Amino acid sequence: MRWLGLRARDGQRRTVPTKEAALAVGVPEATVRQWARRGKLTRYGSARRAEYCLDELTALTDATFDRAR
């Protein structure tokens, strides 16, 4: 499931929890966490609540899926 219109118009970072991040780009939650551990994705939030930027997620998945084609 790909979400449309994820980019913030006001220039602010839009972050979402891991579960929503995974749903937004159509990958398992473990993949989102793995991308963060590997440095491909910035982890925001607190020690107990990870959040990820939707713009970073869409850019990463667009690049990843483009290479896979």
CATH of segment(s) 15-68: 1.10.1660
d(CA 64, CA 50): 22
- Per DSSP, the residues of the chain read ---SS-S-SSS---EEEHHHHHHHHTS-HHHHHHHHHTTSS-EEE-SSSEEEEHHHHHHHHHHHHHHH-
pLDDT reported for residue 12: 78
Model confidence pLDDT, tens digit, residues 19-69: 999 999 999 999 999 999 999 999 999 999 999 999 999 999 887 765 655
